[in-house]
């Protein structure tokens, strides 16, 4: 049950849930993600309510470049898979593999962010700005909120990699890794909805 039984480098089976503190963190974080679902749900509702108010701005069917967005989607989905491998490595207590998978995860996250910044830049140059229309405002707010979550995740996981080097994999660091990985999956799930509701629905109607 407690930490001291495992100090000699033998981590318990699920180190993220080995202490009460760890269990609290995992549960609290799931509740937090519940709140995040509501947050994004509201952003989606606002977007769906306003998405036809294009005014003089470019229409989504002309604006969106699906191939690039599809590439971004695949990159983010792959990074989510990498984070699964990271947690598996953690459960097998393989530090090097864990750090490697985390590293790939954030590299892919950065690639996604790069594409998104490029995409936003292109849109702005085509006259699709924050203040163009209700469609553009709700688009940038929804997709931007998601992008900010990705950026925060990249910073967070980078910090955790540094902590792994310094502190090793312990019952203190394991819950942190685990939480950042569920967070990363959550971001990925949100993106699947954004890809469908914003981009695909924008293309067809």
Residue ranges in 174-193 that form contacts with another protein under rule CB under 8 A: 176
- In degrees and rounded to multiples of 5, residue 7 shows phi and psi of -65, -20
Residue ranges in 132-171 that form contacts with another protein under rule CB under 8 A: 132-138, 140-141, 159, 163, 167
Residue 114 binds another protein, judged by CB under 8 A: no
Q: In this chain, which of 68, 81, 172, 201 binds another protein, going by CB under 8 A?
A: 172
Residue ranges in 4-43 that form contacts with another protein under rule CB under 8 A: 4-5, 20, 23-24, 27-28, 31-32, 34-36, 38-39, 42-43
Give the 3-state secondary structure of residue 158: helix
CA–CA distances in Å: residue 126 to residues 9, 77, 156: 57, 28, 33
For residues 171 and 102, the answer to whether their CB atoms sit within 8 Å is: no
Give the nearest distance from C-beta 163 to another protein in angstroms.
7
Give the nearest distance from C-beta 12 to another protein in angstroms.
12
Angle between helix 66-91 and helix 95-125 axes, rounded to 10 deg: 160
For residues 152 and 53, the answer to whether their CB atoms sit within 8 Å is: no
Nearer to another protein, 68 or 172 (CB): 172
Give the nearest distance from C-beta 168 to another protein in angstroms.
12
Non-local (6+) Cβ contacts of 118 within 8 A are 68
Torsion angle in degrees (nearest 10) through CA of 74, 189, 125, 202: 100
In the complex, the residues that contact another protein under the rule CB under 8 A are 1-5, 20, 23-24, 27-28, 31-32, 34-36, 38-39, 42-43, 45-46, 49-50, 53-55, 130-138, 140-141, 159, 163, 167, 172, 176
């Amino acid at each position: 049950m407690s930490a001291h039984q495992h100090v000699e480098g033998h981590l318990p089976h699920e180190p993220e849930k080995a202490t009460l503190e760890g269990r609290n963190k995992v549960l609290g974080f799931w509740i937090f993600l519940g709140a995040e679902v509501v947050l994004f749900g509201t952003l989606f509702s606002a977007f769906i309510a306003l998405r036809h108010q294009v005014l003089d701005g470019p229409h989504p069917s002309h604006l969106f470049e699906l191939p690039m967005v599809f590439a971004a989607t695949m990159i983010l989905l792959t990074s989510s898979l990498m984070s699964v491998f990271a947690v598996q490595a953690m459960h097998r207590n393989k530090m090097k593999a864990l750090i490697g998978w985390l590293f790939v995860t954030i590299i892919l996250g950065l690639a996604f962010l790069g594409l998104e910044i490029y995409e936003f830049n292109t849109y702005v140059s085509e006259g699709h700005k924050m203040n163009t229309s209700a469609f553009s405002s709700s688009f940038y707010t929804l997709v931007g909120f998601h992008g900010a979550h990705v950026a925060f995740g990249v910073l967070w996981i980078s910090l955790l990699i540094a902590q792994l080097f310094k502190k090793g994999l312990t019952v203190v660091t394991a819950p942190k890794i685990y939480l950042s990985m569920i967070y990363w999956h959550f971001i990925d799930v949100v993106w699947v909805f954004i890809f469908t509701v914003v981009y695909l629905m924008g293309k067809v109607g």
